[in-house]
């Protein structure tokens, strides 16, 4: 048995596809410490620099004083504490939906929600670049799965026609992301909404990388496009721009009631720690405030600076149109991506190499993320170093 895994690991190593944990001995931030060395951090999704913010820390500490550490039971038994409900009310109000429901992670939200919506003989239509949690949720549902090429509205339309013909009377669920996690581009949301209305399908949008970044007060792409009534479910995470941990679904009250009754990752799992819910609530309150909006606008200044300074060359000609805080620096070869990440680390920058299966084979890249916590000098230094190293 052990030999079997050793051989499989060796096979991964031979293809430069093996992965390792790296230990951070500091909090998240624009700088982190690894192996006793400070590195400028371009790897995290803490887009607004909230993960170590005093507002969140104080909210968590106060909740620990009042509620302790563990929730002790699943939400439906006795694990629903005041911070959980306060957070769900605030999320719904901020996202301007009727209701919201929190899960222990964004991954758990996808895994529980999709199978609660569709089942065998229903149809799920997924964008090719959807996150693993959405793919896994769709597979778990047992519904018939069809993938459409990335952001290809024409192909989605032909899948919808096929579903109407071959699965008439069955539920059809379209799933996509507002901002794609490894490419940083956006879904053509208005066109998707038109199609979903035309075919009577449901639309689920993963706003994981849009919340806190896009739309006034960081409400996400749905709100920015004024499509709250047309996107049936907005999935999000509390663990990226919101600086805490957990996932959520925002939607109609009926939908949320149904998920409370049907989403297995919600029902059969201990409630998230109340202190984490309290920290996430502090983050939502901050985002909804004028100060939060200022922080988001600062993030966009940093995004524009990165967009101006990152060299444009070869595989990276497309860099001109930044649509989010995610900048993929496409390398192609897996080993070359690892080497470039290692060279950057030598120079004092933490930028992860992303490889198959997170992205397609031969499409390895550095995934550079900008945050509002970065100084302009740090962004300049990274871009100069990439420019020098790629020569
Ligand atoms: C697009 C997308 N959806 C969902 C998730 C899952 O969220 P969480 O990290 O809260 O489990 C992620 C996180 O990596 C993501 O990138």
What is the average per-residue pLDDT within 44-51?
98
362 vs 351: CA distance, rounded Å: 18
94 vs 345: CA distance, rounded Å: 39
CB 122 less than 6 A from any atom of ligand 1: no
Token duo for residue 139: 């597979």
| Catalytically active residues, by annotation | 181, 209, 240
pLDDT digits (tens, 9 = 90+) for 196-255: 999 999 999 999 999 999 999 999 999 999 999 999 999 999 999 999 999 999 999 999
* Cβ-contact 232, 202 below 8 angstroms: yes
Looking at the CA of residue 177, tell me the nearest atom of ligand 1: 1
Looking at the CA of residue 180, tell me the nearest atom of ligand 1: 1
Exposed/middle/buried for 237, CB within 10 Å: 0-12, 13-18, 19+? buried
Give 179's DSSP letter. B
Distance 208 CA to ligand 1 centre (A): 6
Tell me, what's the pLDDT at 320?
Answer: 58
For the cut 70, the answer to whether the pLDDT of residue 319 exceeds it is no
Query: To which H or E segment does residue 328 belong?
Result: strand 326-332
* Sequence-ordered alpha helix ranges (H) in the chain: 2-14, 54-67, 82-95, 106-117, 132-141, 153-166, 189-199, 221-224, 253-262, 264-267, 274-287, 290-309, 334-346, 376-389
Tell me, what's the pLDDT at 312?
Answer: 81
Tell me, what's the pLDDT at 390?
Answer: 77
For the cut 90, the answer to whether the pLDDT of residue 317 exceeds it is no
For the cut 80, the answer to whether the pLDDT of residue 94 exceeds it is yes
Looking at the CA of residue 237, tell me the nearest atom of ligand 1: 10
For the cut 80, the answer to whether the pLDDT of residue 269 exceeds it is yes
Query: To which H or E segment does residue 37 belong?
Result: strand 37-41
CB 29 less than 6 A from any atom of ligand 1: no
Exposed/middle/buried for 108, CB within 10 Å: 0-12, 13-18, 19+? buried
Distance 234 CA to ligand 1 centre (A): 13
* Cβ-contact 131, 358 below 8 angstroms: no
Distance 238 CA to ligand 1 centre (A): 9
CB 176 less than 6 A from any atom of ligand 1: no
CB 211 less than 6 A from any atom of ligand 1: no
Tell me, what's the pLDDT at 331?
Answer: 93
Query: To which H or E segment does residue 353 belong?
Result: strand 353-354
């Amino acid at each position: 048995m052990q030999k079997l895994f050793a051989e499989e690991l060796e096979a991964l190593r031979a293809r430069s596809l093996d992965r390792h944990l790296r230990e951070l001995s500091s909090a998240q931030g624009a700088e982190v410490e690894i192996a006793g060395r400070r590195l400028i951090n371009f790897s995290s999704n803490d887009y607004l620099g909230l993960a170590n913010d005093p507002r969140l820390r104080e909210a968590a500490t106060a909740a620990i004083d009042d509620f302790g550490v563990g929730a002790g039971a699943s939400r439906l038994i006795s694990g629903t504490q005041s911070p959980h409900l306060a957070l769900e009310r605030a999320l719904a109000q901020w996202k301007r939906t009727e209701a919201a429901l929190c899960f222990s992670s964004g991954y758990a939200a996808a895994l529980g929600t999709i199978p609660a919506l569709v089942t065998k003989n229903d149809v799920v239509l997924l964008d090719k670049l959807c996150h693993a949690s959405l793919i896994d949720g769709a597979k778990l549902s047992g519904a018939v799965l069809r993938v459409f090429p990335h952001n290809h509205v024409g192909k989605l339309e032909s899948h919808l026609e096929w579903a109407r013909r071959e699965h008439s009377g069955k539920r059809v669920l379209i799933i996509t992301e507002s901002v794609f996690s490894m490419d940083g581009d956006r879904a053509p949301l208005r066109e998707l909404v038109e199609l979903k209305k035309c075919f009577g399908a449901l639309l689920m949008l993963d706003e994981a990388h849009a919340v806190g970044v896009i739309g006034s007060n960081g409400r996400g792409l749905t709100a920015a496009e004024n499509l709250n009534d047309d996107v049936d479910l907005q999935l999000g995470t509390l663990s990226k721009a919101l600086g805490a941990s957990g996932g959520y679904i925002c939607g109609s009250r009926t939908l949320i009631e149904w998920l409370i009754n049907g989403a297995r990752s919600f029902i059969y799992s201990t409630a998230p720690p109340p202190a984490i819910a309290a920290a996430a609530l502090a983050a939502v309150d901050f985002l909804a405030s004028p100060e939060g909006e200022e922080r988001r606008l600062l993030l966009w200044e940093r995004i524009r600076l990165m967009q101006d300074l990152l060299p444009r060359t070869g595989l990276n000609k497309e860099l001109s149109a930044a649509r989010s805080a995610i900048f993929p620096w496409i390398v192609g070869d897996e080993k070359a991506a690892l080497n470039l990440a290692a060279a950057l680390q030598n120079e004092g920058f933490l930028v992860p190499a992303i490889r198959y299966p997170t992205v397609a084979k031969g499409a390895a890249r550095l995934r550079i993320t900008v945050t509002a916590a970065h100084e302009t000098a740090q962004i300049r230094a990274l871009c100069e170093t990439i420019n020098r190293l790629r020569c």
